[in-house]
Amino acid sequence: MRMPWSLRSALTAYFGILALFGQAKSFETTVTLSLQEYWNEYVGPIEVADINTTVEATPIPPRELIPPPGLYYPSYPTGQQVPIQKKNESWSFPKDFMFGVASAAYQVEGAAKDEGKGPSIWDALSHRKPGFITTNETADVADNQYYLYKQDIARIAAMGVKVYAFSIAWSRIFPFGSGQVNEQGLAHYEDMINTCLQYGVKPAVTLYHWDMPLALQNSYGGLLSPNFIPDFVEYARVIFTRFGDKVDFFTTFNEPSVFCATFPYPEGFFKPTTIPDKQQQFFCSQHVLLAHSQAYHLAKSELNLTAKITIKLNGGYKIPLTNSTADAEATQRSWDFYEGLFANPVFLDGDYPASVKEHVSSFLPPLTDDQKALIKGSADVFAHDSYTSQFNMAPEGGIAACLANVSDPLYPTCANSSYTYAAADGGWNIGPAADPGVAWLHKATDWVPRLMSYIQETWKPRDGIVIAEFGFAEPFEQQKTVLGDILFDQARQAYYRDYMEAVLIALAEGTNVIGTFAWSLIDNLEWNSGNSIKFGLQYVNLTTQQRYYKASFFEYANAFKVYQEQ
Ligand code: PNW
């Protein structure tokens, strides 16, 4: 069989001719190729299956008949013409439940150098390191919330939301991280907080959501240095002093397990460090714990704040893949090196989990008794960003072999993870995947009650648990061009409906969940993925900066409409 000559050959020949004669001149000719040549030219070698003859049928193994984790379908039709879903009378959210939405300064504010703001490491990397944000975008303008916050807060209130959880950009308050305070920055957040209160929305404020003042990174390596601690505490002092009478919920750090794992930073940008790459995250973690606990005691003992103060941790429920001892051990190591690294010191005994302690003992100064005493108990509630869950299992070659091999990619945690059930349990995904750009996120709302009771039983927080972020990146949302299609975000709707029901189940089981902050108030710059990933409960037209409620926002609000105790 002969096929007509194709475009790529034509182009090759065209550029060949250009090179030969040095002038823009095209030509046409016709060549015929065999089917095989055609494959070779345009596709290349083709893999051949091992089995390439007809195979007889075999009985279907029972495990293949295990159904997937369920999706929810009511037993009646849905739609605007059908009355709202009936209530489960045994469920309710307590009266003072903190029904909130969340965002973070760098991701939504824009106004990157306005009103005296200094640069953060994210401003530097997004501008100077091509590909650091894969879309090569910056947050120079972002959602422009720095100027549009009044409307944003009005839209929060209009949906009946009770809490707005946002972060303060440190480099707006201290443009160089320390030293001179920028009054314009403080005045800005003061007005934002006042506006919230005016609308009946409680502000919940995070001090550090990843936007390290560039000057601190350049002068001493930011979180890699103990110099960070007094600078953070001074920043906290300014915020607590100014806003402590208006804000009743503060978090010091957002997700240290995530930002400490971003070390080492790209070479050639900031102050170089002599700390070996794999140790950097533990130095960062220690400085976080020390800075957090000092800020906590400053607020409580010196400034007499009555606000709840905590640190925001994150992670999924960790499920042993099989009932083997090795998988149980791997799962425990996974807790230890993720939440436990922060939660054990803060909520238990002031010190790291044993497995972590063993690992860091050769390079990290041990916490002193005084430090441990400061860290222990330095959080009123457990703030946890609980998006998803995963299975954990021992590495292929076993935990011991991994621990003996520092270059094993799983070292030092030496636990593997997966988003699929074991083959013997059906092999299904734990739940539907979010956008392919967010590989870590699957809907796993059925595990939320287990995660909540695990947190409560393990770390016993005094004043309960706040789910300080949860949300879903609707698959392929950035590819949609019709507004109405963007707003009808079915996968995210299902996520919020099932998630809130899971919280109601957790409450009914006696777990003290005191609030939920949905991520996110609006579509925003998703860190290294830029605007290609959407987590918003509202769509933002980045040309007009107009906001539009998505269907999922109504789903989230409806959970409270139906189940909030009056
Ligand atoms: C959080 N994980 O990050 C952050 O606090 C937000 O700023 C971010 O936009 C949001 O979640 C969505 O990504 C996470 O790997 C990053 O499990 C990674 C994980 C979880 C949360």
Q: Is the CB of 523 under 6 A from ligand 1?
A: no
Lowest mean pLDDT among 46-60, 218-232, 400-414: 46-60
- pTM for the structure as a whole: 0.91
Instruction: Specify the ligand 1 atom closest to the Cα of 316.
Output: 17
Give dist(CA 503, CA 456) in Å, integer: 13
pLDDT mean across residues, the chain: 92
Amino acid at 528: N
Provide the residue count of the chain: 566
469 catalytic residue (yes or no) = yes
pLDDT of residue 3: 36
- Any idea which residue has 């049928």 for tokens? 57
Q: Which atom of ligand 1 is nearest to the CA of 385?
A: 21
With a cut of 60, say whether residue 361 has pLDDT above it.
Answer: yes
Q: How confident is the model at residue 400 (pLDDT cuts 50, 70, 90)?
A: very high
CB contact at 8 A, 239 and 298: no
Residue 104 CB–ligand 1 contact under 6 Å: yes
User: What is the Å distance from ligand 1's center to 332 Cα?
Assistant: 22
DSSP string, 289-339: HHHHHHHHHIIIIIS---SEEEEEEE--EEEESSS-HHHHHHHHHHHIIII
Higher model confidence: residue 40 or residue 153?
153
Q: What is the DSSP letter of 66?
A: P
**Residue 166 Cβ contacting ligand 1 at under 6 Å:** no
Instruction: Say what the pLDDT of residue 347 is.
Output: 99
Residue 14 has pLDDT above 60, yes or no: no
pLDDT the model gives residue 44: 75
- Does the structure show a pLDDT above 80 at 355? yes
Tokens linked to 321? 């893949």
Q: Indicate the range of 53-67, 155-169, 250-264, 361-375 predicted with least confidence.
A: 53-67
What's the whole-number mean pLDDT along residues 410-429? Answer: 96
State which of 122, 258, 311, 335 you would mutate to test the pocket of ligand 1, scoring each by most atoms of that ligand within 8 A of its C-beta.
258
Mean pLDDT across the stretch 166-172? 98
Task: Name the residue with the closest Cα to ligand 1, atom 18.
Answer: 258
Cβ of residue 385 lying under 6 Å from some atom of ligand 1: yes
Atom of ligand 1 nearest to the CA of 315: 17
Which atom, in ligand 1's list, is nearest to the CA of 388? Answer: 17
Residue 6's pLDDT is what? 34
**Ligand 1 proximity of 255 Cβ (cutoff 6 Å):** yes
Probe target for ligand 1 pocket from 210, 440, 442, with the most ligand atoms within 8 Å of CB: 440
Distance 139 CA to ligand 1 centre (A): 17
Beta strands 546-549 and 538-541 are antiparallel
Is 183 labeled as catalytic in the residue annotation? Answer: no
Q: Is the distance from the beta carbon of residue 261 to the nearest atom of ligand 1 less than 6 Å? A: no
C-beta atoms surrounding 48 within 10 Å: 7
The kind and range of the H/E element at 515 are strand 513-519
- pLDDT in the model for residue 50: 87
Average pLDDT of 469-486?
A: 98
d(CA 196, CA 192): 6
Distance, in Å, from the CA atom of 410 to the CA atom of 542, rounded to the nearest integer, reads: 40
Take atom 16 of ligand 1 and give the residue whose Cα is closest.
Answer: 258
Set 329, 339, 469, 474: catalytic member: 469
Give the model's pLDDT for residue 16: 29
| Ligand 1 pocket mutation pick from 314, 521, 523 by most atoms within 8 angstroms of CB | 314
Measured distance CA(490)–CA(178) in Å, rounded? 46
246 residue type, one letter: K
Ligand 1 pocket check for 106: Cβ under 6 Å: no
- For residue 550, the model assigns a pLDDT of 97
Q: Residue 109 C-alpha to ligand 1 middle, in angstroms?
A: 18
Please state the separation of Cα 87 from the chain's center in Å: 31
Average pLDDT for residues 285-290, to the nearest whole number? 98
Mean pLDDT calculated for residue range 349-357: 98
AA identity, residue 461? P
| Cα gap 120→115, rounded to integer Å | 15
**Closest ligand 1 atom to Cα of 312:** 5
Q: Is the CB of 440 under 6 A from ligand 1?
A: yes
- Given CA atoms 375, 381, 386, 391 in this order, what sign does their dihedral have? positive
Evaluate if residue 201 carries a pLDDT over 50. yes
pLDDT digits (tens, 9 = 90+) for 60-99: 888 878 888 877 777 777 888 876 667 899 999 999 999 9
